[in-house]
Each structure stands twice: as C-alpha cells, then as structure tokens.
C-alpha cells in the first residue's frame, strides 16, 4: 500500500506484484483517511479512482472544519432508511417545502425501498455509498426494462434520505446528486374546452355531477374532495374553504402543504350543482359522502367511464379535471399567482412549470407588446 496523495492511500490486491517491488498488475482502489476530533473516530472511505478520492477528501475536510460532518456509526443503508421511514411517519422529517410527508408518499417510498433498493444497496454502509454505486443501480433498473418514471420513483427515497443526512452532517457528499437518469417523456394530461366540459358533465349520472363539477370548476384534488364538509362551503361568501385531505389508509389528514389550506371561489356554474346537492343532503357532514364515509374514487370513475362510453365521449380523470380548471382560470385572465393560490401549489414555480405553456402570449404577441411600449416611449 503506497500513499499517492495527502490523506489518500493506494490499496492493491494481495496478488499484486507491486507488493514485492514489481509493477502493478491489479486495479488498485484509493482509501481516504480523516480524523474526527469531536467523535474521536477515524473516517475512512474507499474509491475506484484517485480523482474521486481526492475530491471527496477535500469536501469532507471542509465539512469537518465547519462541523457539518461526523464519523459514521456503521449503519447500513437499510438501517438508516428504516429509521427515516419511522421518523417520516411521526412527522419528524420534512420535505423540501418544510411540510411533513403525506402518508401516501411515505408508503410509496417504503414500497420502492423494499421492492428494489434494499436488494441492491441495503447492506452497504450508509456513509460509504458512492455515486457510482447509485448510478450502477439506476443503469441496471433501466436495462431491466423499467420505465423512466419507475426508475425515478425508485431513487426518490434515497434522494430524500441522503438530502437529510447531508444537512445533518452524517455524510459529506450526497451520492444521489448528479446522476444520469433516463429521460421521462410522458404525455401531458388531457384538458377540455368549456363546451366539452359541459357535455361531459351532462353525460354523467345526476348524483355524480356535483363532485365532478367541483373538480372541474374549483380544481380540488381527489383527497380534498373526499374530505370536504358542508361547513367548508360558504355560499354567502362564494368560496370553498379547503382545510383537509383524505388518505385511503390514514383517513382525514392535513392538506398536501401549508398552501393547501386555501379559499377557492365558487363560480355560478358550480354553485348551482352545490346548492342542489345541499338541498338534499339531509344533514350529511361530508359534501360528497354517505354515512360518514367519503366517496370511493374507483367506483366513481367506473360509473363515469360507463356513462361516457355509452355516449361515445372521451372522458377525463379527476386529476385531469383539475388541470382543466387551471386552463379555464388562465384563459379567463387570472394571473399565475392567483392560479397557484387556488390550486394550492407550494410555490408559483410549480404552476409555471406545469401550466406555463397555457399562459397567453406567443412570439407575435410579445413583439406587438414590445412595439407598442417602445412607440409610446
């Protein structure tokens, strides 16, 4: 074993001729050694190339000086991930927006970890996982024929776990950053025109029209529709107060984010449906439920599909109704901030990324606006 750079040791195979003074005939690895004064422990990490080792050592040394790194406790990826899931369920772990993870998100992360991640990476030391290890994992999933979106969903829990570990100084370098991921080229969700929306709603069973109308003309998410109570609907003020959501397993939950708590205006076309439904609600607490239980999304979608197929109509999902609502608001002249607020997005960037292509104005419009401004000036 020979030192090639400060704090980096070159490690050769036992059968390598360099051990006897000859020429190297193996593929050496490079081990970084750092001392953590706070924990009184040595930090070691091995890399395939000297460049990787030197780069990591530089980052780690800086992190140690700033108190952002500490010696590993020897846990595996599986052990750290299991603890992360437990903390996420308890609301101790926050997402990028500072909100607790939704129960459905934690369940999907747990499924991805147990189905794919643990088999390949679960037994590796958490602090020693390298970017190349994760990249190899991504490449294997892609070669196995998994869709790009499935590959991404498999990596998302690792990204969340290492993001937190990096912030807490448990690792110096995030091995999930800078990965080469397969491109996701999914189709855009379908939206319909106001005329098509009216036709679709008219083709539904009368009892189901109010919930589809609320998705279409107020943009509520499926879970928000399921949790909506009559006390949240203010006909006097003309708004729907979105205060909670519904999870299939946990039941009533907080909205998706802090901005999920919001007021959404009730247009006349929706008011008519809601007032008629309220008149026959018979004291029901939930707007779209029965006997204290919210509607079943699958059964609702099945009834709608059957009704639309019978009339030879190309139907929508509840989520596509939400997209249609956004397109209506934009076409009506609502600014991006208002649309973002009514949809309950965590920030306006999400709205612009998802619906920016619907915003009014093209190259000709922009040129005309600029000409008008310059001429007036």
User: Of 65, 91, 109, which one is at a domain's C-terminal end?
Assistant: 65
Give the number of other CB atoms < 10 A from CB of residue 106.
20
- State whether 207 and 354 are in the same domain: yes
Which three-class secondary structure string do you get for the chain? CEEEECCEEEECCCCCHHHHCCCCCCCCEEEEEEEECCCCEEEEEEECCHHHHHHHHHHHHHHHHCCCCCCCCCCEHHHHHHHHHHHHHCCCCECCCCCECCHHHHHHHHHHHHHHHHHHHCCCEHHHCCHHHHHHHHHHHHHCCCCHHHHHHHHHHHHHHHHHHHHCCCCCCCCCCCCCCCCCCCCCCCCCCHHHHHHHHHCCCHHHHHHHHHHHHHCCCHHHHHHCEHHHEECCCCEEEECCEEECCCEEECCCCHHHCEEEECCHHHHHHHHHHHHCCCCCCECCEECCEECCHHHHHHHHHHHHHHCCCCCCCHHHHHHHHHHHHHHCCCCHHHHHHHHCCCCHHHHHHHHHHHCCCCHHHHHHHHHHHHHHC
Q: What is the pLDDT of residue 241?
A: 96
- State whether 56 and 102 are in the same domain: no
Contact 222, 319 (CB under 8 A): yes
- State whether 275 and 154 are in the same domain: no
Phi then psi for residue 74, to 5 deg, are: 85, 5
- State whether 211 and 248 are in the same domain: yes
What's the number of CA atoms in the CB half-sphere (13 Å) around residue 362?
2
Phi then psi for residue 358, to 5 deg, are: -95, -10
**For residues 61, 67, 71 and 74, what is the CA-based torsion angle, rounded to 10 degrees?**
-120
Query: 86 lies in a domain?
Result: yes
* Alpha-carbon torsion (217, 223, 225, 229), positive or negative: negative
Query: 153 lies in a domain?
Result: yes
User: Of 37, 65, 93, which one is at a domain's C-terminal end?
Assistant: 65
Query: 152 lies in a domain?
Result: yes
Q: What is the CATH number of the domain that holds 214?
A: 1.10.443.10
Contact 164, 109 (CB under 8 A): no
Domain count, the chain: 3
Sheet holding 29-36, edge to edge: 2-5, 8-11, 29-36, 41-47
Rounded to the nearest angstrom, the gap between the alpha carbon of residue 355 and the centroid of all alpha carbons in its chain is: 17
What is the spatial distance between Cα 342 and Cα 329, in angstroms, rounded to a whole number?
Answer: 9
What is the spatial distance between Cα 198 and Cα 106, in angstroms, rounded to a whole number?
Answer: 37
Query: 327 lies in a domain?
Result: yes
pTM: 0.67
CA nearest neighbour of 267 among 226, 219, 207, 227:
219
- State whether 152 and 201 are in the same domain: no
- State whether 90 and 115 are in the same domain: yes
Rounded to the nearest angstrom, the gap between the alpha carbon of residue 158 and the centroid of all alpha carbons in its chain is: 13
What is the spatial distance between Cα 68 and Cα 111, in angstroms, rounded to a whole number?
Answer: 31
Q: What is the CATH number of the domain that holds 120?
A: 1.10.150.130
- State whether 23 and 152 are in the same domain: no
Q: Domain limits at 260?
A: 194-358
State the burial class of residue 371 (Cβ atoms within 10 Å of its Cβ: 0-12, 13-18, 19+). exposed
Query: 377 lies in a domain?
Result: no
CA distances to 160, 342, 351 from 346, rounded to whole Å, are 18, 11, 9
- State whether 206 and 346 are in the same domain: yes
Q: What is the pLDDT of residue 68?
A: 66
- State whether 270 and 227 are in the same domain: yes
Contact 345, 261 (CB under 8 A): no
- State whether 241 and 125 are in the same domain: no
- State whether 31 and 88 are in the same domain: no
Q: Would you give per-residue pLDDT tens digits along the chain (377 residues)?
A: 444 567 788 888 888 988 888 889 898 889 888 887 777 777 888 888 888 888 888 888 887 777 766 666 678 999 999 999 999 999 899 888 788 898 999 999 999 999 999 999 999 999 889 999 999 999 999 999 999 999 999 999 999 999 999 888 788 789 999 999 998 776 667 889 999 999 999 999 999 999 999 999 999 999 999 999 999 999 999 999 999 999 988 888 887 777 789 999 999 999 999 999 999 988 899 999 877 789 999 999 999 999 999 999 999 999 999 999 998 888 888 888 888 999 988 788 888 877 766 665 555 555 666 677 778 86
Query: 72 lies in a domain?
Result: no
- State whether 57 and 91 are in the same domain: no
């Amino acid at each position: 074993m020979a030192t090639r750079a400060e704090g980096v040791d070159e490690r050769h195979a036992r059968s390598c001729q360099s051990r006897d003074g000859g020429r190297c005939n193996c593929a050496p690895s490079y081990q970084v050694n750092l001392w953590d004064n706070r924990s009184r422990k040595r930090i070691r990490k091995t890399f395939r190339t000297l460049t990787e080792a030197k780069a990591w050592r530089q980052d780690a040394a800086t992190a140690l000086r700033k108190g952002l790194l500490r010696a590993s406790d020897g846990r595996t990826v599986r052990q750290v991930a299991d603890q992360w899931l437990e903390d996420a369920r308890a609301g101790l772990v926050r997402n990028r927006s500072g909100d607790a993870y939704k129960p459905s998100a934690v369940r999907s992360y747990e499924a991805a970890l147990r189905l794919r991640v643990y088999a390949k990476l679960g037994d590796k030391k958490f602090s020693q996982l390298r970017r190349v290890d994760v990249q190899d994992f991504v490449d294997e999933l892609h070669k196995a024929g998994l869709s790009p979106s499935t590959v991404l969903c498999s990596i998302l829990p690792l990204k969340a776990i290492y993001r937190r570990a990096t912030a807490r100084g448990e690792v110096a370098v995030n091995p999930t950053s800078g990965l080469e991921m397969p491109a996701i080229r999914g189709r855009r969700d379908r939206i319909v025109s106001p005329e098509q929306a009216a036709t679709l709603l008219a083709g539904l069973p009368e009892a189901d029209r109010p919930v589809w109308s609320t998705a279409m003309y107020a943009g509520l998410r499926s879970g928000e529709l399921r949790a909506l109570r009559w006390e949240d609907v203010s006909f006097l003020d003309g708004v729907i107060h979105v205060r909670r959501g519904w999870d299939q397993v946990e039941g009533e939950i907080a909205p998706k984010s802090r901005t999920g708590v919001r007021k959404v205006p009730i247009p006349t076309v929706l008011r008519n449906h809601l007032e008629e439904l309220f008149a026959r609600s018979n004291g029901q607490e939930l707007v779209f439920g029965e006997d204290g239980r919210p509607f079943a999304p699958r059964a609702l979608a099945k009834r709608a599909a059957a009704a639309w197929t019978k009339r030879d109509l190309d139907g929508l999902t509840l989520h596509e109704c939400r997209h249609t609502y956004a397109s209506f608001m934009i076409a009506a002249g609502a600014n991006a901030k208002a649309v973002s607020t009514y949809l309950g997005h965590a920030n306006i960037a999400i709205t612009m990324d998802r619906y920016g292509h619907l915003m009014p104005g093209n190259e000709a419009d922009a040129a005309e606006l600029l000409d008008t401004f310059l001429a007036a000036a």
